[in-house]
Amino acid sequence: MEIILLQDVKSLGKKGERVKINDGYARNFVLPKKLGIEATAKNLNDLKLQKANEDRIAAQKLEEAKQLAAKIEEKSVVLNVKTGEGGKLFGSVSTKEIAAACEKQLGLEIDKKKMVLPEPIKACGTTIVPVKLHREVTAKLTVKVQEA
């Protein structure tokens, strides 16, 4: 019997794959647990339409990420912080503060978890912060830290 998998099954394959399995295994395990459906012409057509829709949505999200990356890279964020002697900061600048400044200054909501900051910023100056917007798109945000 041919089955279209609705979920990843360890011994059979990945979601959306068309696999051939024994009739008993299909009737007693795969179909009752809703891990797959029978590969009829209607179900195959539905699978094809669903994949086309998912591809279209993925392409749309990629395009949106590219547009947001272009907006981020053409602007910069300025943070005013308290400093001690020699221009050293009291504490450090984290991604949370950078995200809040982006929303306030640029009007862009950027998730702090998408910012890749290996270590917090502890000195005044300009820093390039990579922002991972999509699996294939990473923008570079310019952050200027100044004395208050």
77 and 122 in a common domain: yes
Are 71 and 28 in contact, with CB atoms under 8 Å apart? no
Q: Which domain holds residue 89?
A: 68-147
Q: Are residues 43 and 84 in the same domain?
A: no
Among 16, 8, 2, 23, smallest CA distance to 46 is for: 16
- Identify whether residues 56 and 35 lie together within a single domain: yes
54: CATH: 3.40.5.10
* Residue that terminates a domain, selected from 64, 96, 115: 64
Are 14 and 74 contained in the same domain? no
Tell me: do 86 and 121 sit in the same domain: yes
Q: Same domain for 58 and 115?
A: no
Q: Which secondary-structure segment (H or E) carries 18? A: strand 18-20
Q: Between the CA atoms of 134, 139, 144 and 148, what dihedral angle is there, to the nearest 10 degrees?
A: -20
Answer yes or no: do 11 and 32 share one domain.
yes
Q: Is 22 found in the same domain as 7?
A: yes
Same domain? For 53 and 83 the reply is no
Same domain, yes or no: 54 and 78? no
Alpha-helical segments (H) within 10-117 = 23-25, 41-74, 95-105
- Residuewise pLDDT in 10s, the chain (148 residues): 999 999 998 888 999 899 999 999 999 999 999 999 999 999 999 999 999 999 999 999 999 999 999 999 998 999 998 888 777 788 888 899 999 999 999 888 899 999 998 888 888 889 999 999 999 999 999 999 988 7
25 CB-contact burial (10 Å; exposed 0-12 / middle 13-18 / buried 19+) = middle
> What pLDDT, on a 0 to 100 scale, did the predictor assign at position 11?
85
Structurally, the chain folds into a number of domains equal to 2
Chosen domain end from 44, 64, 84? 64
- Say whether both 123 and 79 belong to one domain: yes
Where does a domain end: 64, 83, 118?
64
CATH number at residue 109: 3.10.430.100
